[in-house]
Amino acid sequence: MTRTGTGPLTPDELADWYAAPPDLGSRPWVRAGFITTLDGRTTGPDGRSGSLNAGSDGDHAAFDHLRAWADVVVVGAGTVRAEGYRPLRGTALAVVSSGEVLPETLRGPAGPDAGEVVLVSGHGRTLGAREALDAVLAHGWRRVVVEGGASLLASWLAEDVVDELCVTVRPVLAGGAGPLLVPPSLSFADLRGTPTHLLLWGGDVLVRTVLR
């Protein structure tokens, strides 16, 4: 049964709403946290996801909570550059790249409360999802949140390493040729996902869907 509710939620209510399955033990749990439009775009007309969640209190609350829950946030190097990522407060950041150098915004000294930043490099080649995830898990991290971009998510979905999608759907259209949550090149033999939570918050719909 899908749990439904209406925001806003308090921090304790958010923790309950986004609680991971209680019987995981030492097994990792991989979540993908994204925002999308009605036409499936994951960025606004300016090419950034930040322009989509502007004014979305629900997405900001879910975004902040998922980062606080995570041991590590995983993101592609292109998204780091496009969105201007900096080291995260209290949470590790793993940057997946075919190159061998961190993007410029992540070089240099970080604040005293910043989490670790690691480069997961393919040394000139594109890393497969399983290979990248194994490199992340080798650090001992078990709570994993994938934030983007869409091409990284597509490869992780294709290799079936994502346990859960946490998606905010904004009731707007972006149009254009921007990235889609699931690209046309990725197909499945049947419908995938079991919705577990559906939250209406300020006109946006926040969905949790278990994929495996």
Mean pLDDT computed over 139-162:
96
pLDDT of residue 50: 85
Domains in the chain, ordered, with CATH? Answer: 3-12+38-184+193-210 (3.40.430.10)
Mean pLDDT computed over 66-72:
97
Which residue stretches of the chain are H helix? 11-17, 50-53, 57-69, 77-83, 129-137, 150-158
Mean pLDDT computed over 56-71:
97
Q: Is 128 exposed, middle or buried (0-12, 13-18, 19+ CB in 10 A)?
A: middle
Is the CB of residue 133 less than 8 Å from the CB of residue 144? yes
Is the CB of residue 168 less than 8 Å from the CB of residue 204? yes
Position 110 confidence tier, pLDDT thresholds 50, 70, 90: confident
What does pLDDT average to over the chain?
A: 95
Q: What percent of the chain has pLDDT over 90?
A: 90
pTM of the shown model: 0.95
For residue 171, the tally of other CB atoms under 10 A from its CB is 9
Looking at residue 187, its amino acid is S
